[in-house]
Amino acid sequence: MNELDKSVVICRCEEVSYEEIEEVIRLGARTFDDIKRLTRCGMGACQAKICNFLVANIIHEELGKPLQEIPLPRMRMPISPIKLETLSTNSKDFSTVKSVLDEVEVKDGEVG
């Protein structure tokens, strides 16, 4: 990872760059959750499913901490996006609930 350009975006959902993560580690962040609180990295639509491993690698390289000792980011409910309708009706039939992301239309690279 040291060969990456510092402007490379690590968290695509929240547009957090390698450089920003490196900076908060320099300021004292030691875990993914520390980095999350300071940069919003991991708070995007994928809930760190994409950036988790990349951030763990940066922590590993910057602090020399073994990867297996770096805790996973803390998860909060709901784990995946669900409709407000499901929450408001107290529905327990989650198997029929579609993700809100399933309803997003993308045309020519733009969200419609």
Beta carbon nearer to ligand FES, 14 or 20:
14
Tell me: does residue 42 bind ligand FES (CB under 6 A).
yes
Minimum CB separation from ligand FES for residue 69, in Å? Answer: 21
Tell me: does residue 35 bind ligand FES (CB under 6 A).
no
Distance CA 12, CA 84 (A): 25
Beta carbon nearer to ligand FES, 9 or 97:
9
Tell me: does residue 56 bind ligand FES (CB under 6 A).
no
Tell me: does residue 24 bind ligand FES (CB under 6 A).
no
Q: Which residues bind ligand FES (CB under 6 A)?
A: 11-14, 41-42, 44, 46-48, 50-51
